């Protein structure tokens, strides 16, 4: 009753979903990169080292690059695979993850980690979190 019908699970619908997901990813990742970069460029933290100032942006960009790899793989396969269908397949013939499948999985996990660290660093979460546990002087 609640499963996808054969018409819903068609290749055409799957291809449309891959395109919509890719478009949404581009909007989100582009926005995250643009916002963190422009806010960092406008910031007055010029006394910070290069990595202290631009580190969050670097992590956000790297995370987005790793996260967009699998959607690109899906789009390439949806459009014929350019003769690389076997190399880009997610699963082996026995149903286990292929080497590309394992690489895609690891790239996604690394991308989520890098993007999360970059955004948390950008909003100052480590400093805010450390203030919660900093010992306070007792009044005398």
pTM here is 0.84
Distances (CA, A) of 20 to 59, 74, 89, 103: 25, 12, 21, 23
| CA nearest neighbour of 21 among 78, 83, 100 | 78
Task: State the chain's mean pLDDT as an integer.
Answer: 90
Mean pLDDT on 98-118:
97
Query: Per the domain annotation, does 118 fall within a domain?
Result: yes
Residue 66 lies in a domain: yes
Considering the domain boundaries, does residue 140 fall inside one?
A: no
* pLDDT of 97 higher than 50: yes
- Residue-level pLDDT at 1: 46
Question: How many folded domains does the chain comprise?
Answer: 1
Range of the domain at 59: 29-40+50-127
Residues whose CB is less than 8 angstroms from the CB of residue 85 and which lie 6 or more positions away in sequence, other chains included: 77
Percent of the chain predicted with pLDDT > 70: 91
pLDDT at residue 3 above 60?
no
Decide if 5 is inside a domain.
no
Tell me whether residue 97 is in a domain: yes
Inside any domain, residue 20:
no
Question: Is 112 part of a structural domain of the chain?
Answer: yes
Mean pLDDT of the 59-71 span: 98
The set of residues, in sequence order, having a beta carbon less than 8 Å from that of 51 and lying 6+ positions away, is 58
């Amino acid at each position: 009753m609640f499963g996808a019908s054969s018409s819903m699970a068609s290749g055409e619908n799957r291809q449309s979903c891959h395109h919509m997901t890719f478009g949404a990813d581009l909007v989100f990742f582009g926005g995250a990169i643009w916002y963190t970069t422009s806010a960092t460029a406008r910031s007055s933290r010029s006394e910070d080292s290069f990595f202290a100032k631009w580190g969050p942006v670097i992590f956000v960009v790297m995370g987005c690059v790793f996260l967009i790899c699998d959607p690109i793989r899906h789009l390439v396969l949806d459009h014929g695979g350019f003769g690389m269908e076997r190399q880009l397949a997610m699963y082996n013939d026995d149903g286990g993850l292929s080497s590309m499948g394992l690489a895609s999985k690891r790239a996604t996990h690394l991308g989520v980690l890098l993007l999360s660290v970059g955004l948390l660093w950008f909003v100052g979460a480590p400093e805010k979190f450390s203030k919660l546990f900093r010992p306070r002087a007792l009044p005398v």
